Structure 1
């Protein structure tokens, strides 16, 4: 039995943040009913690269879910959501604040119908505050949360991470909130509750020591390329064949082993470099010494020598490297999955790994409205494809 088997989830969200949270719950056994707009469905069905008219991203984001077509602007669609919410454990939405209230489906209305309901609300800026009504996408949350300011090379335009990291972070925070709320409800005898997740706050929550450094020292952390300011040495170092070795020699004992490998006993035994603060003061010198060594060797030789010395190091992976890598295969992190049209597709595996109740892919991503009749018929509604 999967850990969340029996948990009933209604997913009203679209695109990334809300559906990613639903995906995670579904992988561990929750019954996720995904409500999609009539005729068009979730816009993610048409995002990025399409195969046979459907995004291959969709096959990952919506696996294990059931699809129901509803017009949430109609009285009938709203009535069906209320009926579904009465028996649900969780409802997920990521509309702009106030949208569900306009349809009579806000927190107060649904809680009155089902006091045990846990409702996850993901938005750009949260359900309160002066920015609550602003539309917000992940890219804006990444910028406001402080991540964009730190991404890129010094003196150049701030760059975005190549994925929608703000949406994914919001989804993961939402899942944490859902599981916490379910535990409070079921193990502590509590009631349901509303979980308010803002995109920018989810990014901000992983910004480490940014605020206390500013408060204590007036320090504004800036872009630093591939280095990690204040921790040394750790960087990407060029190799003789044009590759880059990522080397993390910032532990005190690791640093000594690294200096021994590159043939710098003077730095290895320098008392001023024994701890991180001393190394940070001379980080440019250390980076030059390390790269002088890596530039004389191809990437594979560099990584082999560092592995033998137990110095953490690695290469920059492309997706081809990921698919071909034995570690990914051994932990089933790239798996082949049969889609709804019968074709096979490599997709990411499931995280985290649970020893007793592991996640699983039990159902292909649904065709639009595939389960509308099934879901409505079991609840006494007419068996129509769309409402």
Structure 2
């Protein structure tokens, strides 16, 4: 039997979401000890069981990560019998996560009014593209749309090209992080009030929340941030620079004192006192020419030698990592940033560890994502008191 640990070990979570936004919220809570029971469609399961470009044995390598530490129970939410089972589970739950289109849960008789009548302490976490209210709430809203509407897509990429996308589903994961944060806040509020509440996490608002000062800048000055490739306007030097051995090194020396150290490391200490580069504002005005000066210098030094010199000089710098570099990096290893655990089919697999780190009640990765319906019988018999005969009947009818 799995030993419960972590700061959320006293919480039962029912996860009814699918794809990324809901399930990543569930993953975050499960990583810190919450007992997460994932509800999946019988015979089909979460589409994340099939997603992902690279596969092993014809099966996705994304599922073991996003469903880690969870239990899987199959239940057909579209029929009254399945909805009745879910109500029994929710009656004993602390948190319910769902990321269906707004109105879906209500059509199934599983809206917050119905569920809070069964369990007044229930916290219902709802993740959607546009939120539960407003004129767009009923629209289909994927993460990519939220990224565009929240302002992120417009500022990603090179100014000479149309807006780009990040190489990950950032809108979904940001909404999931806000949802998890909201769930924990609601649990804390429940300690005082004794009541649950709804956590409404909209993808476009989660993205908007990360967009720094773009709104106030426009509101007060009319300034609109544009795509700027690898730099931020007026933040200099902070860019990717070439090396003699055809590597790319990121250097961030935009603070006055740090730039002086960089200039000294370059053998051009006079740049630190040059009126064109001595202050943050001046460097911003001469950003392009300063980048060209630095690039001419870095192009004469091999990457390893360059990084050693910059480290000795106290100048923030680093390589641009991919998975191979992460797996070999000494700092990743020392902090156990990537963990390895056994998967029943794939053998040993590597995945990112839990973050953030808590000194007294840390989270942990206890197991990979479960097989479809792996815990159905355990939950229905052990917690709800269903007999083996009843479960068999439900299976035959396609309800579990």
1:83 corresponds to which of 76, 88, 93: 88
The alpha carbon displacement at 1:271 in A equals 4.3
Give the structure 1 partner of residue 233 of structure 2.
Answer: 229
Structure 1, unaligned runs of 5 or more: none
Contact 1:33 1:68 in 2 (8 A): yes
The alpha carbon displacement at 1:382 in A equals 4.0
Taking the TM superposition and a 5 Å limit, the aligned residue runs for 1:201-240 are: 201-240=205-244
RMSD of equivalent CA atoms: 1.3
Q: Which runs of 4+ in 1 moved over 3 A?
A: 271-274
**Is 1:92 matched with 2:97?**
yes
The alpha carbon displacement at 1:272 in A equals 5.2
Distance, in Å, in 2 between the alignment partners of 1:363 and 1:299 is 39
Q: Which moved more, 1:193-202 or 1:236-245?
A: 236-245
3-state SS in 1 of match to 2:24 = helix
Give the aligned length. Answer: 386
2:140 corresponds to which of 131, 135, 141: 135
**Is 1:325 matched with 2:329?**
yes
The alpha carbon displacement at 1:286 in A equals 1.1
Scaled by the length of structure 2, the TM-score of the pair is: 0.94
**Is 1:255 matched with 2:259?**
yes
The alpha carbon displacement at 1:24 in A equals 0.9
Distance, in Å, in 1 between the alignment partners of 2:266 and 2:146 is 42
3-state SS in 1 of match to 2:136 = coil
Contact 1:340 1:367 in 2 (8 A): no
**Is 1:380 matched with 2:385?**
yes
1:19 corresponds to which of 14, 23, 26: 23
Give the structure 1 partner of residue 284 of structure 2.
Answer: 280
Distance, in Å, in 1 between the alignment partners of 2:120 and 2:235 is 49
Scaled by the length of structure 1, the TM-score of the pair is: 0.97
Distance, in Å, in 2 between the alignment partners of 1:340 and 1:74 is 33
Give the structure 2 partner of residue 242 of structure 1.
Answer: 246
Give the structure 2 partner of residue 343 of structure 1.
Answer: 347
The alpha carbon displacement at 1:54 in A equals 2.6
Taking the TM superposition and a 5 Å limit, the aligned residue runs for 1:1-387 are: 1-48=5-52, 49-186=54-191, 188-271=192-275, 273-341=277-345, 343-377=347-381, 378-383=383-388, 384=391, 385=395, 386-387=399-400
The alpha carbon displacement at 1:53 in A equals 3.7
Contact 1:335 1:349 in 2 (8 A): yes
Distance, in Å, in 2 between the alignment partners of 1:267 and 1:371 is 65
Query: What do residues 259-307 of structure 1 show as CA deviations (whole Å, max 9, x unaligned)?
Result: 1111223321124533322211111121111111111112212211111
Contact 1:154 1:225 in 2 (8 A): yes
Structure 2, unaligned runs of 5 or more: none
3-state SS in 1 of match to 2:91 = helix
Contact 2:234 2:283 in 1 (8 A): no
Distance, in Å, in 1 between the alignment partners of 2:6 and 2:103 is 35
Closer, same or farther in 2 for the Cα pair 1:221/1:12, shift >3 Å?
Answer: same
